[in-house]
Structure 1
Amino acid sequence: MKEQLETLRQKALAELATCSGQAELNEWKVKYLGKKGELTSIMRLMGQLSEEERPQIGQWVNQVRAKLNSAFEQKELRLKQAELEQRLKSESIDVTLPGRTVQVGGIHPLTRVIQEMEQIFIGLGFEIAEGPEVETDYYNFEALNLPKNHPARDMQDTFYLTEEILLRTHTSGIQVRTLEAKKGEVPVRIIAPGRVYRRDDDDATHSHAFTQVEGLVVDKGIRMSDLKGILLAFARRMFGAEQQIRLRPSYFPFTEPSTEVDVSCYACQGNGCRICKHTGWLEILGAGMVHPRVLEMAGYDSETYTGFAFGMGVERIAMLKYGIDDIRHFYVNDVRFLKQFANRF
């Protein structure tokens, strides 16, 4: 049996030397050292030996097993080392190559403009107010001096969900809700940024959904000059310290008197160019003194308190500020457009 064990050892070591991968190593181990392997088969023959022979044969079997296990471990270690060296060689890095640029996201330009507007008005003593986008006809129209069948409702083509529920056409309803919540207390200084909806055709300057920021101030002794001062401060902080504004008469049902507000053209500084259509001015918002009827419906004595309100489109401000010629660029998520603003803020 000793010769049989020696023959097995030599044969196993010869086959082990030809193994070139982990799969072949595993097959070799099963063949010679497994539960049904050749070494185990020889051990089963020990039951036929005499009691005197068994200890000696058992010792030889253990020696052969130890040698084969040791040879297997050494071979496995060499193969793993060779595999590692090959992988390191194939995955080597040329440190002289330029690094890969990491793509970094940024805040959307409209969000940035809203944040900038909020910071300007917070610095002027305003608070931020919010309200529902799905609004009632009362808060969207009636409480703003626009009773049912009022012809001025045609100025805002509306998405109605029911006869009394609609998608808000402006954030002015938040002004009424705030006045009601204050219950006659003053001062009231709020801005109301938010999404609004109108049945406009989508083109370069219009969208059925857009963003507004509206403002409201109510207190004793509020005058038109206060409105002009606030809007001039806003225009200079948003567009530049040299900007000027002008007020043109207009009409809004919820303000009296009402005005359209223009800012001097950022491109030509009022001299006239293609951007401002050679007028020197760019329209940015509508404003006016709060209509006495709006104050009365919200619970304020219009003989004691006065106020002003204004509203502007965020997209309009962003287009003027950055020279963007199509409002649709803000909504199509074109990375080529958005990445231009990543380092502007």
Structure 2
Amino acid sequence: MELENVTWITEFLLLGLSEEPELQSFIFGLFLSMYLITVFGNLLIILAISSDSHLHMPMYFFLSNLSLVDICFISTTIPKMLVNIQSQSKVITYEGCITQMYFYILFVGLDNLILTMMAYDRFVAICHPLHYTVIMNPQLCELLVLLSWIMSALISLLQSLTALRLSFCIDLEISQFFCELNQVIQLACSNTFLSNMVMYFSALLLGGGPFAGILYSYSKIVSCIRGMSSAQGKYKAFSTCASHLSVVSLFYFTVLGVYLSSAATHSSQSSAIASVLYTVVTPMLNPFIYSLRNKDIKGALKSFFVKETTKGAIVLGLKKCPWLRKSKAQSQLL
């Protein structure tokens, strides 16, 4: 390494999904639509759960937190990408890149941990139904979510700090639409051993650990379901896990597909396109999976819209009938 090639950098270049000018408008419209659908869909899940007292249960408490994390997760990458396309710029500042990496790692870790908590919740509900309310009490659920935030925040901070100590050469192009830690490390000219070790350790802790927990929970669930004598009981037990199992499969298979495809093809563009699956598509599909397969969520959403429509109709009627408001006010005085 030559010393003159090392410099104090102020910005990186995000190459994005395509450099073809005629595709930029299409990409902008597509990702803006996906972003709005994701935010709107997950907000509906949060509103439905918070507005219906029947859904104030551990499973839906974790689901509302997952929806919140998905909104934050997609908001970490897509808005910057849309701004760059609109301004016809590929630049992201050094500080902005480190900040984006921090929040990206934070919310990926939270996604993993919350999915693990949801798997544990289903394990307790199916294998220990009589002790469910005692084990999965509100205090434990809140503590688990709090610990997940603390753990993810500390690990993402550690990885960001190790990235800060790196020195970079002239080539500052990132073959992604966001600052991915692995690609930022590959651009460094200084010793990356510590950064790589921290990255692998974090991936094992926030990825491998939760995945092992999910596999263990579902192995116990399958064992309990097989031990049930009633076919109806087996179907009911499995149906309570179907939505969560779909989300887990979608998340982990897309992540695995991204890294396998990048390792096999060594194509930066194909890796960037594959990254869209778990950074954009998965958060967008989660609300549909839970709302379409869950009668409680559909009922809560219907009740919420009926309530808001009725409230709006009453307010509109009062505005159109001022004499009615006046008579109500007089009756209150009497």
Q: Same fold (TM over 0.5)?
A: no
TM interval, shorter chain, is under 0.3
| The structure with more radius of gyration | 1
Greater percentage in strand: 1
Q: TM-score, normalised by structure 2?
A: 0.21
Point out which structure has higher relative CO (alpha carbons under 8 A, 6+ apart). 2
Q: TM-score, normalised by structure 1?
A: 0.21
